[in-house]
Chain A
Amino acid sequence: MPRDSTQSPQTRLTPANSGFSGTTGNAWYGLFPLVAGLAMATALQFILPGAAGPYYSRIVIDAGIAIVLAVSLNIVNGMTGQFSIGHAGFMALGGYTAGILTHYGSMLLWGSAGRHGGFLGSGELLFAASCLAGGLISAVAGYVVGLPSLRLRGDYLAIVTLGFGEIMRVILQQTGRVIDDAEKFRSGGLSQLIPPPVGGAVGFDGLPKYTSLFWVYSLVTVTVVVAYRLKVSSPGRAMISVREDEIAAQAMGVDIARQKVMAFVIAAFFAGAAGGMFAHESGVIISPRDAGFQRSFDYVIMTVLGGRGSISGVLIAAAVLTALPEMLRDFEQYRLIVYALLLIMMMLVRPQGLFGIHEIWDLFAPFLRRQQKAAP
């Protein structure tokens, strides 16, 4: 395996060269990307639907959800060097959990399952909390799935994640019908929750459609910031050392099992939250099929094309691969053939992905460095 240096060139902003100084400077440096991301999400929410119409807004929402899933999968597959092919399983688990909470939660709180309140109203807050809860449940599942990594490596771990996704799919198929009658649900006991009334094989229909550009891109912001901060921090460096050489990492005192489990937990959390967004997107009915490996492969392809370990690369790949099929509607049956050929060609010609371990701004590094040299 070619070992390229994991240190990115000296171009990333640090408190020292960012122009900010002191404690406030540090805090501002930490918060700035979050604030900027939230501002962008708000701007998208109010400008895009009017400017581009519902069709393009929907594609942008889809791209946002794909970005969260691909970037979070990249923490496991790219940074830690494991191979998870069950990411959709976490997504579906989070989506169903969030769906149960909003659907039946609204019935208990407001007596109907429909949408409640406007932008940032009480309904949307319940939705945000449900997505968070979906993420947490998925994180617990991520811990359980990550545990076998104490004993298994590489291919075997991949099979366990695959098995997890398939088990999720089959179990979700065996669930009961959705209860639409709020009165009946409120008067019924806890026994109607077994088996969970989430729609079985047809999917969880009738969820209130809360997902909007604001919420999706807020989640994208948090995911990307967390992934990036992780990448440049010492826990993230420990993960990268596991990817580069497990034995050497172990010899340096890195608890490799812990790093793997942590990667799984973080990735599963964001996948679960993204699943919550997906389940509440208008025009989408989350169904057991969404837990299957075909969807997982989509995200694997995004991480592979973007570059295993490159956050910006994966982000671009996720956005492009979501938008591309929409433009190539007429060639629908050739879409996956093109993907497959891309994947094979990529492995033959540029196995590290488009950006490898680098971020997109590293491309400008040579120019910046020349300037720095010229300055003094």
Chain B
Amino acid sequence: MADLVQTLITALAIGSLYALIALGYTMVYGILKFINFAHSDIVVLGAWISYTLSSKLLPRLGLDPHNPVTPPPIWVAAVVLILSMIICGLIGFVIERLAYKPLRRAPRLNVLITAIGVSLLLQNLGQLNFMFGASPQKMPALLPGWEIATLTFSDGESARSVVINLVDTVIFATSATLMLLLQYLVFRTKLGTAMRAVSFNPDNAALLGIPVDRVVSFTFVLGSALAAAAGFLYVMKYPGMNQPAHTIWVLLGLKAFVAAVIGGIGNVRGAVLGGFVIAFVEQFGAFYISSNYRDVYVFALLIVILLVRPTGLLGSPLREKV
């Protein structure tokens, strides 16, 4: 029972990260109909920018970032989070303008290849010495190590307790807040209506006076900001940061992408559902079957879902017009 609850907590925290990243994939796919391979690299940038910001900010407050005696005040985490979301949003804007906008009318395959190019570029630029460098770093702890609650389970003679950490709670709460805000934005505001209109039919949307280019740019900014938040939260939970081109980052992005596809790519609610489904399959598979194959479960689930329901769990069936 204790193991079950522990796995559940981890799955919820990881699942909300996958969901945050998947939202970026799904929004871009919904509007431009291409897989933004560079999205996972925005997550990496978000993480590394948070690292750079906090290792610059903490010494100014008289704290040693690598050997914290007292945890920094809670607003530092919030400032770092918001700053890295803004910076990554700007980077997303620039990428869209320079690399994707000229290809708006090009075949989808070309855009996909460009996205792979942008992804390689970001990874390897990030590895340069004057950027983040090619060696792993340790993220300073910005959140105090509080325990929110302790649950104790006893089975007959022995009792085991499960601790709910502040980190997991913050991850879940931040992601949930951001997702609810996005939900509100997409379904309740004029801008969200414009986004959905562009996604439905860009030409008609343009005829109706919707500034398509601005809506697309805004989508990129939004997706990149969410990715940055996910990157920040990820390194809060796992402070050992790998260098920007490390496989672990690409796998994180890939799994989030799988989440978007499983939920039905282009569907905002589907991405959230997919994120949690992936995390549950991965965590429970890792715990109850074998942790060596945790990536295999995710990709196997992807292939099964694609074969049984090619448009994902919540996706609407495609109709092809000749």
Contact = CB atoms under 8 A, between A and B. Distances in A.
Interface of A: 1, 81, 83, 148, 151-152, 154-156, 158-160, 162-164, 166-167, 170-171, 173-174, 247, 292-294, 297, 300, 304, 333-334, 336-337, 339-344, 347-348, 351
Contact of B112 (A155, A294, A336): A155
A151 B103 contact: no
Contact of B103 (A1, A156, A160, A348): A348
A337 B125 contact: yes
Contacts of A171: 293, 296
Contact of B117 (A152, A173, A333, A347): A347
17 contacts: A81-B109, A155-B34, A155-B108, A159-B261, A163-B258, A163-B302, A164-B299, A166-B254, A166-B295, A167-B295, A171-B293, A173-B292, A294-B247, A341-B121, A342-B117, A344-B121, A347-B111
A7 B109 CA distance: 22
Interface stretch (B159-167, B173-181, B270-278, B303-311): B303-311
B306 A148 contact: yes
Contacts of A170: 292-293, 295-296
Given A174-B293, A342-B117, 11 more contacts: A155-B35, A159-B302, A174-B292, A247-B322, A333-B127, A341-B121, A343-B117, A344-B99, A347-B103, A348-B99, A348-B103
A340 B124 contact: yes
B110 interface: yes
Contact of B114 (A148, A294, A348): A348
B74 interface: no
Contacts of B292: 170, 173-174
B120 interface: yes
B132 to A, nearest CB: 13
A216 to B, nearest CB: 27
B84 to A, nearest CB: 23
A243 to B, nearest CB: 10
Contacts of B128: 333, 337
B149 interface: no
Nearest to A81: B109
A339 B111 CA distance: 16
A341 B34 CA distance: 20
A351 B110 contact: yes
A159 B125 CA distance: 25
A81 B108 CA distance: 11
Interface in B267-322: 292-293, 295-296, 299-300, 302-303, 306-307, 310, 320, 322
B145 interface: no
B34 A337 contact: no
Contacts of A247: 320, 322
A356 to B, nearest CB: 13
B114 A1 contact: no
Contacts of B299: 163-164, 166-167
A152 B306 contact: yes
Nearest to B255: A166
B278 to A, nearest CB: 13
Interface in B78-120: 99, 102-103, 106-114, 116-120
A174 B296 CA distance: 11
A297 B247 CA distance: 13
A347 B101 CA distance: 12
Contacts of A343: 113-114, 116-117, 120
B250 interface: yes
Q: Which of A166, A247, A300, A342 has the most CB of B within 10 A?
A: A166
Contacts of B35: 155, 158-159
Contacts of A148: 303, 306-307
A340 B295 contact: no
